């Protein structure tokens, strides 16, 4: 079936609703902006409110007989080579949970990369699924976790042959990617589905110089965050499906179970428009973005004290591929932490997404141009010229790679809902955590509910907080106390 990618069904439906001039006696209560505070309309614009429609009796009729959303999802599936595509307006955090629930149920087991985002841990808590942690590949020199490789997956599947499938997180926040094709082959040899949390890879299908797209590599189901490296609005997410190892009706039922019934037409429209843009112009736009990224990398490497990482991530025991548009910059040569570097750049109105004890990461997308790239380079050079302006540096006590693998004494769900108490951090060693402890970003829990807290982890968290680490999800954000199972 030939698809007309010049069309954007959601955008067309919004325009048709506006042109008809209908009056809604339904939510949203602002009624296309007529009841919105004029001060808000002045800031956000009339068009945003005018496009804020219900799906039923808005984008479509009450029976959804026009198939607006179905057609838009079909176009997206065709654009990326999937058999089925589902839009989500609750972010990839919900999409990942839906995907997990479509593969495994309460008390069943699933292989999960241990360097998973907190949304994955939340999915385990909600579902009661038992994770079989698959150890990431750690770089002991850079203190960095890459996705698991085929060897780690094969070993985990041999340990738990009854596991219902595998959840692989790739790429990481640092842009490092797994060998999805070989991992998929291992899963499929055992007739197990492979789910890929490819939140950072929505742009991969649209340029051949980018890392391998999960659907092309044989994944059964993958989740993408189109707002991260694409053109979707925040919370716009898509999951793609192929093959029959995960039934489409089961996946839809799980997504309906968790998703909102008040879906956002604005988010749907951004997904629809981005797909059209990528099909029509994606190769050209991404080629330009790659050239801009090369310019930034060259400027970083010419700046004393800074180093743009990329090739260092790749190797037999490291990552399989790296997204060149993720520019990971090592600032250790300046004698400061990534936390300090990010704060210093923010003072100049340059904001980076990721910072850790020695690095920051700046992403280049199709939205960047010579002006934005030049501004980033100027700010980085100023940072390097005056590192002392970042203030006093505190050292982070980094655990050895083996010390990051914690004993899971209880299921995440059981520990999260167990009777708990708050104890001082110094007395938490040996106790079972009842909460997630996640430096953010990237939001990967150092400690998950059910895991035993150790002294090296306590030292790492305490020193990290003193150095500028931000903890997103602890009951005590300053971590003077930890919530543990009684």
Distance, in Å, from the CA atom of 196 to the CA atom of 418, rounded to the nearest integer, reads 30
pLDDT 10s digits, 190-246: 999 999 999 999 999 999 999 999 999 999 999 999 999 999 999 999 999 999 999
At 90 the pLDDT is: 87
Report the top-level CATH class of 401-485. alpha beta
How deeply is 61 buried, as exposed, middle or buried, from its count of CB atoms within 10 A (0-12, 13-18, 19+)? exposed
Task: Report in angstroms the alpha-carbon separations of 484 from 10, 381, 433, 460.
Answer: 47, 45, 4, 18
| Backbone CA torsion sign across 279, 280, 283, 289 | negative
Residue range(s) of every CATH 3.90.100.10 domain in the chain: 401-485
CATH of range 283-390; options 3.20.20.140, 3.40.50.620, 3.90.1150.10, 3.40.920.10:
3.90.1150.10
- How many residues in total does the chain contain? 486
Beta bridge partners of 329: 308, 360
pLDDT 10s digits, 378-414: 999 999 999 999 888 999 999 998 999 999 999 999 9
Helix, strand, or coil (residue 91): helix
How deeply is 386 buried, as exposed, middle or buried, from its count of CB atoms within 10 A (0-12, 13-18, 19+)? exposed
Q: Which of 72, 79, 124 is nearest to 236 (CA)?
A: 72
What are the residue ranges in the chain where pLDDT is below 70?
1
DSSP state of 433: B
At 1 the pLDDT is: 64
At 313 the pLDDT is: 97
- Helix or strand run (H / E) with residue 133: strand 130-134
DSSP state of 317: T
Residue range(s) of every CATH 3.90.1150.10 domain in the chain: 283-390
At 472 the pLDDT is: 85
- Helix or strand run (H / E) with residue 279: helix 265-301
C-alpha 54 chain-centroid distance: 27
Task: Report in angstroms the alpha-carbon separations of 274 from 41, 87, 157.
Answer: 25, 13, 38
Beta bridge partners of 408: 451
At 441 the pLDDT is: 83
Q: Which of 407, 394, 410, 404 is nearest to 456 (CA)?
A: 404
């Amino acid at each position: 079936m030939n698809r007309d990618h010049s069309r954007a069904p959601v955008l067309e439906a919004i325009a048709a609703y506006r042109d008809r001039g209908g009056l809604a006696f339904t939510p949203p209560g602002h009624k296309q902006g007529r009841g919105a505070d004029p001060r808000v309309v002045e800031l956000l614009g009339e068009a945003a409110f005018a496009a804020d429609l219900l799906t039923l009796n808005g984008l479509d009729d009450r029976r959804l007989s026009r198939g607006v959303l179905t057609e838009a999802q079909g176009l997206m599936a065709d654009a990326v080579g999937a058999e089925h595509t589902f839009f989500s307006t609750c972010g990839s955090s919900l999409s990942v949970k839906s995907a997990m629930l479509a593969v495994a149920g309460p008390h069943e087991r699933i292989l999960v990369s241990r360097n998973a985002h907190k949304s994955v841990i939340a999915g385990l808590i909600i579902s009661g699924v038992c994770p079989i942690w698959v150890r990431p590949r750690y770089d002991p020199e850079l203190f960095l976790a890459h996705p698991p490789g085929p060897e780690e997956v094969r070993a985990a599947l041999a340990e738990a042959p009854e596991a219902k499938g595998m959840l692989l997180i790739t790429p990481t926040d640092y842009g490092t990617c797994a060998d999805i094709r070989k991992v998929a082959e291992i899963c499929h040899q055992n007739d197990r589905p492979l789910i890929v949390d490819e939140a950072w890879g929505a742009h991969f299908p649209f340029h051949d110089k980018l890392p391998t797209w999960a659907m092309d590599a044989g994944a059964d189901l993958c989740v993408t965050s189109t707002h991260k490296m694409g053109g979707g609005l925040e919370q716009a997410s898509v999951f793609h499906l192929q093959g029959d190892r995960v039934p489409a009706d089961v996946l839809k039922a799980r997504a309906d179970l968790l998703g909102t019934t008040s879906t956002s037409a604005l988010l749907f429209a951004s997904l629809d428009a981005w797909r059209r843009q990528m099909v029509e112009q994606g190769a050209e736009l991404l080629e330009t973005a790659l050239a801009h990224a090369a310019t930034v990398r060259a400027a970083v490497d010419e700046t004393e004290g800074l180093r743009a990482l990329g090739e260092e991530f790749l190797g037999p025991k490291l990552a399989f591929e790296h997204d060149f548009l993720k520019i990971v910059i090592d600032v250790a040569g300046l004698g400061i932490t990534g936390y300090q570097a990010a704060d210093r750049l923010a003072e100049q109105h340059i904001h980076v997404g990721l910072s850790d004890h020695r690095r920051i990461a700046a992403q280049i997308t199709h939205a960047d141009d010579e002006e934005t790239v030049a501004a980033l380079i100027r700010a980085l050079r100023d940072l390097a010229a005056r590192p002392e302006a970042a203030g006093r540096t505190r050292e982070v006590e980094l655990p050895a790679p083996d010390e990051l693998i914690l004993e899971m004494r209880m299921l995440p769900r059981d520990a999260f809902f167990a009777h708990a108490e708050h104890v001082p951090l110094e007395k938490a060693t040996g106790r079972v955590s009842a909460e997630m402890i996640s430096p953010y970003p990237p939001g990967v829990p150092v400690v998950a509910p059910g895991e035993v807290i150790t002294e090296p982890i306590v030292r790492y968290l305490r020193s990290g907080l003193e150095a500028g680490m931000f903890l997103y999800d602890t009951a005590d954000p300053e971590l003077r106390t930890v919530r543990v199972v009684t």
